[in-house]
Amino acid sequence: MPISVFDLFKIGVGPSSSHTVGPMQAAFKYVNALRENNLLNDVEHLEVHLYGSLSATGVGHATDHAIIMGLMGERPDTIDPTLIEPSIKSLKESRRLNLGRQKEVTFTWDSDIYFHEECLPHHPNAMRLAAFTPQRQLLYENTYYSVGGGFVVEQAQVDMPLDDLDGAIIPYNFDTADELLALCKKEQLSVSRLMLENEKVWRTEEEVRNELWRIWQVMCECIDNGLAHEGVLPGGLNVKRRAKLLHQRLQAAEQNDCLIASTFSAMEWVNIFALAVNEENAAGGRMVTAPTNGAAGIIPAVLHYYMKFQPNACEKNVVDFLLAAGAIGILCKKNASISGAEVGCQGEVGSACAMAAAGLADVMGGTPEQVEHAAEIGLEHNLGLTCDPVGGLVQIPCIERNAIATVKAINAAQMALRGDGTHFISLDKVIRTMRDTGRDMLDKYKETSKGGLAVNAIEC
């Protein structure tokens, strides 16, 4: 099935696209299924079952809260994040859940959410929702898989033959980077322009540009919020927000001319932008998956860097950046994964780093070959990166990891633009290596918080 750039860049809430955004969307879809089958008014009781990685780190990623809000009829792209905490508190006290804003049903927090250690066959991030009649007879159940970046797959879609899946016919379909480069060469198109032509299958060009600009505005708001807030992040690790203080110090340093050089200043800004986004994500704020929440700071930080330091930067540059970045994200999702639970953090931070490098190379006038090379450098040097969040929270090492990857993405683009696009290892080979490395990686290093820093950082 063709993937749109808007499948990769989705507005939602923190702290996780696969553990928060996806489950909320799945629960919302479940309520709609009840409504469409005229079953909603017959429901008296609900059960939520979490499996695999959703079970192992669900509480730390607010998976339980997200599912409940979805059952209440909230969507990740429209929910007011400030409503989540009071809504959950009210539910715990009343034991009544307003299902789809239409029917109150019985729900006891401590006994109706089940955490299972077992993994379901299709994907580590699995959840099953079940509704019962007043006589406790099963009314309707469905299984959903949150496969990364907010993507949700139902059990029926898993069981469906590939030939039966609906999909739009796009003018320039590509499954590999080699195919993408061949199309760009044949049609004399940049990567961003080719992506725009594909997006016009679903939307007009004006709609594509307007929606991407809206995505960018949400990214900017997230950075601004991260720079404005301070205090301790929720979750119990007592991690202090740093972006606001670092921002104030950088502004003072620039005024006093005590920075070593403008390049050093630029890198400082990039770090702060990334920290701001990921601190806001850890606090459960409004986010854009890019392509996931755990790696959401990299693309906004690099693009913000370009818009701040590039003379005459404009709206067109934002659109082109996100389109080119989206092309790389599509390749990573199609041929490997963007899910930390599936391939480790290389699939999240690694993919985002490659996407940001490609976007920057494209708006800096890079050829398709240079764009591909920038993405290859960005991804290659994140291979093997494990997903080992301390306490199951998207805080340590996730927040700083995004900042480091933003600098790496800029460096990758600069290196690629200094060359002619030829290089030894292709992006396709690196993506395949990421897939194979993820398969070989032990499950304890894939978002379960059972290995790596997640266990070594805990004081015994």
Give residue 1's pLDDT: 77
Residue 405: CA count within 13 A, CB half-sphere: 37
Region 406-417: mean pLDDT is: 97
**Mean pLDDT of all residues in 132-146:** 96
* Predicted confidence (pLDDT) at residue 411 exceeds the cutoff of 90: yes
Instruction: Find the mean pLDDT for residues 408-421.
Output: 96
* Max avg pLDDT among 117-131, 148-162, 260-274: 117-131
Quick one: pLDDT at residue 257?
63
What pLDDT, on a 0 to 100 scale, did the predictor assign at position 254?
76
**Cα separation of 377 and 408, whole Å?**
9
pLDDT score at 315: 96
Q: Is the pLDDT of residue 196 over 60?
A: yes
Condensed to tens digits (0 to 9), the pLDDT of residues 269-309 reads: 999 999 999 999 999 999 999 999 999 999 999 999 999 99
Give the pLDDT band (50/70/90) at residue 120: very high
Quote the pLDDT of residue 337: 96
Kindly indicate the confidence band of residue 379, based on its pLDDT and cuts at 50, 70 and 90. very high
pLDDT digits (tens, 9 = 90+) for 50-89: 999 999 888 989 999 999 999 999 999 999 999 999 999 9
Residue 116: predicted pLDDT: 96
Instruction: Please state the domain extents for the chain.
Output: 17-164, 177-456
pLDDT of residue 227: 97
Q: State mean pLDDT over 237-257.
A: 89
**Residue 336 to residue 435: CA distance in whole angstroms:** 5
Of the candidates 418, 401, 377, 412, the one whose C-alpha atom is nearest the C-alpha of residue 452 is 401
What residues does 11 pair with on adjacent strands? 288
d(CA 389, CA 447): 7
| Mean pLDDT calculated for residue range 404-431 | 97
Judge whether 378 and 349 are in contact, CB under 8 Å. Answer: no
Nearest to 54 by CA among 85, 13, 23, 21: 23
Q: Which positions ≥6 away from 129 have C-beta within 8 Å?
A: 26, 27, 30, 46, 47, 48, 49, 67, 71, 141, 142, 144
Q: Is the pLDDT of residue 458 over 70?
A: no
Alpha-carbon distance of 132 to 141, in angstroms, equals 9
- Give me the chain's average pLDDT, please: 93
76-85, 260-269, 430-439: which range is least confident on average?
A: 260-269
Q: What is the pLDDT of residue 460?
A: 36
302-352 pLDDT, tens per residue?
999 999 999 999 999 999 999 999 999 999 999 999 999 899 999 999 999
Look at residue 163 and tell me whether its pLDDT is greater than 50.
Answer: no
* pLDDT above 70 (res 31): yes
pLDDT grade, residue 255 (50/70/90)?
confident
- Of 301, 299, 296, 348, the C-alpha closest to 322 is 299
Provide, rounded to the nearest whole percent, the portion of the chain with pLDDT above 70.
96
Q: How many residues are present in the chain? A: 460
pLDDT at 168: 80
Q: Model confidence at 162, in pLDDT bands (50, 70, 90)?
A: very low
**How large is the average pLDDT for residues 178-186?**
98
Q: Which CATH architecture does the domain made up of 17-164 adopt?
A: 2-Layer Sandwich (3.30)
pLDDT of 73: 97
